[in-house]
Amino acid sequence: MSDGWVMVIGLEVHCELKTASKLFCGCPNMFGNEPNTNVCPVCLGLPGSLPVLNQNAVELAMAIGTALHCDIRPSTFHRKNYFYPDQAKDYQISQYDEPINVNGWLELPDGFRVGVERAHMEEDTGKTTHVGTTGRIHGADHSLVDYNRSGVPLVEIVSAPDIRTSAQARAYVTELRSVLVATGASDGKMEEGSMRVDANVSVRRSGDDLFGTRCEIKNLNSVRSVGRAIDYEAERQVAIIESGDKVMQQTRHWDEDAGKTQTLRSKEDAYDYRYFLEPDLVPLAPDAAWKGAVADALGMMPAERRARLADLLQEAGTGTEARTEQTATVVDLGLDDLVVEAIAGGVPAALALARTANEAATDAEAARKLDPGSYVTLLAMEAAGALSATQSKTVLAELLAAGGGDPAVIARMKGFEAMSDNTLSVTVAEAVDANPEEWARYCAGEDKLAQVFIGQVMKATRGQANGKAVMAELQRLRG
Amino acid sequence: MTVPRSAFDLAAAVRSGETGALDVLGTYLAAIDAGDGEINAFNLVTREAAREAAIAVDHKVAAGEDPGLLAGVPVALKDNMCTRGVPTTCSSRILDGWRPPYDATVVTRLREAGAVVVGKTNMDEFAMGSSTENSAFGPTRNPNDTSRVPGGSSGGSAAAVAAGFAPVALGSDTGGSIRQPAALCGVVGMKPTYGTVSRYGLVAFASSLDQIGPFATTVADAALVFEVIGGHDPADSTCLDRPAPRVLSVLDEGIQGMTVGVLTEFLDGVDADVVARTRQAADACAAAGARVEEISVPEVRLGLSAYYLIAPAEASSNLARYDGVRFGLRVDAEDTTAMNTATRSAGFGAEVKRRIMLGTYALSAGYKDAYYDQALRVRTKIIDAFDRAYRRCDVLLGPTAPSTAFSIGAKSSDPMSMYLSDVCTIPSNLAGHPAISIPFGTGDDGLPIGVQLLAPALAENTLLRAAAVIEAAANSMEGREG
């Protein structure tokens, strides 16, 4: 960001809910089927059809609200009227001035809290494919509409304009995605459109309190696009202001290939949506018991999971600062339960975290299915020196590939018998004899040369020696 | 062979095997063939499907199975109720060629009760009108005087019953579209409480006001049809979660001790002969042991203005889907927007366009509060005012329409005077309350007059008991005068 300027960013995230059926009819909510096969009179907007609200969608919306610390309130649905071919009824049923979730927040991994103004329910539109040279409606020869997505339940999560950098925006989207997956509301697949992001971006000079004129950027289909588009847009706005012009309030389209935002429509062309209360639906007022049941069914959210690990690392006296990234990784991959189990099983916290974040994380899907008991046993063997780090990693890879097993048995089959102290000291002594010059320097205080001897021993034992034990032997020999 | 005139007697005759459903159908189809060329009550007569349905009923009777409450009863459906595989036009060009892939809930219930659908009846386009002149199929004529309108918008259904083309019919009532044509044609027409009859499959005009109800020659037939079509439907979220209505058993309970309020505002600006008949109906109530008093509910005067903002506003949204993309008429043009415009310009008639524009305006940014929202506030006032009136009265009584049937073309160029036809019927729609029009003698021109009873929400029992009393009085009056 240019010196002397600050970005002000608010994000609107549309999340497709992972329900079995659509928001207002019984059609399957499925991605990737043959076009116009998951349709019925309701989601095609045929004359005479009427919407009936999907209870499961309401529950997932409430779960999102609970996870984002929102107030869950009595709510209503409105009609948002505009003509578009993929809008089956030529209006969208959406929550407007009385959304189900209001006034929440999302805490980012660094502890920064972004306000969530609302998280409301609405139906998705169909999908239009413009056939022609440009791929956009202008200049298309003809257009094809697939209504399979018409009526798919969405929750739109609107952040407060609290975000100040593109990195923070990326962190927000990443964290929100984890929360949505953790609630069971979403599969979080941005590439399939399960999550779509619009960014409201404005800039102001450092120290200013007032907001600048904002532009809304659409078509952000990845975390990377979110960051790139915001950076581009902020610089564009700064350049306009510095050249003495004014930023015009606009909706802009992010062109991923060109790396640019382009005008979609300006404020003057903004639709008048003629919102009014949807007369075909009745108000929604979840009672305390229903809200309680949804809250009780909700598992731990990523922030809670990170806090849980941080506490354990703290207790173990392991520096938490340096471990933030590893903590975030294991939580993000849903492997934090393994770490917690391992620590509870007596494995040193740093080892439990490192093995999980570095090795188990390489095949997170298999690791999530791993029997925690065998994982803890393996790490305990490594911690006790029964297996070297290299051996431990090999056994772990075997466990993940086989989908489980007894680490002790695998270690034996691999020939990873723990080396006796006697054998080890002979091998270390051989390494010392072979490198007299390095040994002298090591004895003179060049500690880092210990690595030379460890390397030699490892080579000689094909990685089976325990690094810590080698180090202890070297220190003993040095006296 | 004589076929009974009432659905009640007809179903009884079919159920007992005394009369065959196919014979009954034959009688009615013959009447349609003889008379509908002039009346134009039907957009479509579903002859073959009706024959199959009648044969199925006869088979059930022969097999000793229960053929249903409306066994073999021919029913005409207003052409805004979806019928699977059968064109449903709303008397509009814009639905040209569309065949719904499903039956409306009321149609399913009629079929399950053994009724035989004989056809789809003419109407004002999308139910917007009071004369059945706003139709792509030409006007329907009043069977009592073919130079006159049958009323509307359910004029085809009212005329079909009045002409003897069907013993009963269904209409939809958004601002009086069942009751006003019932009055002008001299038949019974009932608008039930909003939410007692499913709207699923009724092509929407104004969703918060639309309600399906029966036309019949007797109050008992209307009650019978209401029992068949009423009751909860999970496909309509606004349909009340209550068991199917049971009203037939109370019809002969009388109104001894009830209080009947003559609604004075409904007598203003109404023709003298209509006022006179209304007062006679009040006298009949008194004679039957009810306490009759005049009651003023000034708020009902605001109904017409509120209605002509709320109904068009909802319609402007409900009718947006007729865009040429998925079904019905498409007029090709250079791009999608131009195609939408060309389709809608060609497909909608003048009255529909007028109301879409009115409703779009009423909902527009900067105007919504002054128009649409204000109308909603008025609606609430009307509901509150009715609630106060019903603390004193069990039912309210007034005329259904300000005059007898007017001549075809008389009001076509003056929308305001046409809109005034519904001044007495609109308040019940705004309140969601039940109301019924019962034929009560004729006017100075010899044409039928209807009187209207209004009752609080879900008080169909009370409403129909009083209606039966007025019907009996009308029958004995006809005997004396006739």
Q: Which one of B83, B96, B194, B200 makes the best mutation probe of the A interface by having the most chain A beta carbons within 10 Å?
A: B200
In chain B, the residue whose alpha carbon lies closest to the alpha carbon of A82 is: B320
B142-157 residue pLDDT tens: 999 999 999 999 999 9
Please say whether the beta carbons of B259 and B291 come within 8 A: yes
Whether B237 and A145 lie within 8 Å, measured CB to CB: no
Residues facing B398 on adjacent strands: B452
Strands (E) across A69-214 are located at 71-72, 78-81, 91-94, 101-107, 113-123, 127-132, 140-146, 153-159, 195-205
The whole model's pTM is what?
Answer: 0.89
Whether B81 and A48 lie within 8 Å, measured CB to CB: yes
Section A2-14 average pLDDT: 94
Of A48, A143, A276, the CB nearest to B336: A143
d(CA B430, CA B378): 9
Please say whether the beta carbons of B13 and B19 come within 8 A: yes
What is the reported pLDDT for A468? 79
Tell whether the model's pLDDT for residue B1 goes beyond 60: no
What is the reported pLDDT for A445? 87
Of A48, A145, A280, the CB nearest to B82: A48
Whether A47 and B316 lie within 8 Å, measured CB to CB: no
Q: Which one of A49, A53, A58 makes the best mutation probe of the B interface by having the most chain B beta carbons within 10 Å?
A: A49
B34-82 residue pLDDT tens: 999 999 999 999 999 999 999 999 999 999 999 999 999 999 999 999 9
Whether A90 and B321 lie within 8 Å, measured CB to CB: yes
Of A51, A274, A282, the CB nearest to B360: A274
In chain A, the residue whose alpha carbon lies closest to the alpha carbon of B360 is: A274
Please say whether the beta carbons of B464 and B436 come within 8 A: yes
Task: Give percent of chain B with pLDDT exceeding 70.
Answer: 99
Domain ranges of chain B: 1-302+374-482, 306-363
d(CA A69, CA A64): 9
Section B427-443 average pLDDT: 98
Which amino acid makes up residue A291? K
What is the reported pLDDT for A430? 85
Tell whether the model's pLDDT for residue A130 goes beyond 90: no
pLDDT bin (cut points 50, 70, 90) of residue A87 is very high
B142: nearest Cα among B160, B169, B124, B129: B160
Q: Which one of A84, A276, A284 makes the best mutation probe of the B interface by having the most chain B beta carbons within 10 Å?
A: A276
With tokens 């007692």, the residue in question is B196
Tell whether the model's pLDDT for residue B265 goes beyond 60: yes
Section A414-429 average pLDDT: 74
- Point out the catalytic residue in the list B91, B177, B421, B428: B177
What is the reported pLDDT for B127? 98
Tell whether the model's pLDDT for residue A418 goes beyond 70: no
Q: Which residues of A touch B313 (CB under 8 A)?
A: 276
Residues of B with a Cβ under 8 Å from any A Cβ are 80-82, 88, 90, 95, 98, 100-102, 104, 199-204, 206-208, 234-238, 313-314, 316-317, 320-321, 323, 325-327, 336-337, 340, 360, 363-365, 368, 372
CA diameter of chain A: 93
**Kindly report the CA angle at A210 between A206 and A213, in degrees rounded to 5?**
100
Whether B321 and A137 lie within 8 Å, measured CB to CB: no
Tokens standing for B88? Answer: 């449903």
Active site residue B403: no
Tell whether the model's pLDDT for residue B18 goes beyond 70: yes
Of B203, B204, B336, the CB nearest to A85: B336
A34-64 residue pLDDT tens: 999 999 999 999 999 999 999 999 999 999 9
Whether B237 and A280 lie within 8 Å, measured CB to CB: yes
- How many Å lie between the alpha carbon of A44 and the closest alpha carbon of chain B? 8
Peptide bond into B153 cis (omega under 30): yes
Of A145, A272, A279, the CB nearest to B364: A272
pLDDT averaged over every residue in chain B: 97
B376-410 residue pLDDT tens: 999 999 999 999 999 999 999 999 999 999 999 99
φ, ψ dihedrals at A162, nearest 5°: -100, -10
Whether B238 and A41 lie within 8 Å, measured CB to CB: no
d(CA A462, CA A474): 19
ipTM rounded to 2 decimals: 0.96
In chain B, the residue whose alpha carbon lies closest to the alpha carbon of A79 is: B317
B194-216 residue pLDDT tens: 999 999 999 999 999 999 999 99
Q: Which residues of B touch A52 (CB under 8 A)?
A: 234-237
Whether A274 and B363 lie within 8 Å, measured CB to CB: yes
Angle between helices B21-39 and B7-16 (to 10 degrees): 150
- How many Å lie between the alpha carbon of A101 and the closest alpha carbon of chain B? 22
B308-321 residue pLDDT tens: 999 999 999 999 99
In chain B, the residue whose alpha carbon lies closest to the alpha carbon of A47 is: B203
Whether A89 and B321 lie within 8 Å, measured CB to CB: yes
In chain A, the residue whose alpha carbon lies closest to the alpha carbon of B240 is: A282
Whether B235 and A52 lie within 8 Å, measured CB to CB: yes
What is the reported pLDDT for A137? 61
Of A89, A137, A276, the CB nearest to B372: A276
pLDDT bin (cut points 50, 70, 90) of residue B357 is very high
Q: Which one of B82, B240, B325, B341 makes the best mutation probe of the A interface by having the most chain A beta carbons within 10 Å?
A: B325
With tokens 């002790």, the residue in question is A408
Section A17-36 average pLDDT: 96
What is the reported pLDDT for A360? 93
- How many Å lie between the alpha carbon of B373 and the closest alpha carbon of chain A? 9
- Point out the catalytic residue in the list B91, B92, B130, B153: B153
What is the reported pLDDT for A340? 94
SS (H, E, C) B157-206: HHHHHHCCCCCEEEEEECCCCCHHHHHHHCCEEEECCCCCECCCCECCCC
Size of interface A-B (CB pairs under 8 A): 101
Tell whether the model's pLDDT for residue A269 goes beyond 80: no
A205-258 residue pLDDT tens: 999 989 999 999 998 999 999 999 999 999 999 999 999 999 999 999 999 999
Q: Which residues of A touch B207 (CB under 8 A)?
A: 279-280
Whether B100 and A46 lie within 8 Å, measured CB to CB: yes
- How many Å lie between the alpha carbon of B360 and the closest alpha carbon of chain A? 8
Tell whether the model's pLDDT for residue B163 goes beyond 60: yes
Whether A49 and B200 lie within 8 Å, measured CB to CB: yes
Of A50, A274, A276, the CB nearest to B200: A50
Whether B88 and A47 lie within 8 Å, measured CB to CB: yes
Tell whether the model's pLDDT for residue B272 goes beyond 60: yes
Q: Which one of A90, A129, A131, A277 makes the best mutation probe of the B interface by having the most chain B beta carbons within 10 Å?
A: A90
3-state secondary structure of B93: helix
Class of domain B1-302+374-482: alpha beta
Residues of A with a Cβ under 8 Å from any B Cβ are 41, 44-53, 79, 81, 83, 85, 88-91, 137, 143, 145, 272, 274-276, 279-282
pLDDT bin (cut points 50, 70, 90) of residue A91 is very high
pLDDT bin (cut points 50, 70, 90) of residue B246 is very high
d(CA B394, CA B454): 9
d(CA B404, CA B439): 11
With tokens 């006869």, the residue in question is B58
Section B443-448 average pLDDT: 97
Q: Which residues of A touch B340 (CB under 8 A)?
A: 83
Q: Which residues of B touch A78 (CB under 8 A)?
A: none
Active site residue B78: yes
What is the reported pLDDT for B2? 62
B174-187 residue pLDDT tens: 999 999 999 999 99
Whether A52 and B98 lie within 8 Å, measured CB to CB: no
Considering only residues A193 and A73, tell me which one the structure prediction assigns the higher pLDDT: A73
d(CA A247, CA A237): 6
Active site residue B154: no
In chain B, the residue whose alpha carbon lies closest to the alpha carbon of A44 is: B326
What is the reported pLDDT for A343? 93
What is the reported pLDDT for B172? 98
Tell whether the model's pLDDT for residue B419 goes beyond 70: yes
What is the reported pLDDT for A136? 62
Which of A431-435, A442-446, B52-56 has maximum average pLDDT? Answer: B52-56
Give the least confident one: A116-130, A313-327, B289-303, B332-346.
Answer: A313-327
pLDDT bin (cut points 50, 70, 90) of residue A134 is low
- Point out the catalytic residue in the list B60, B78, B191, B411: B78
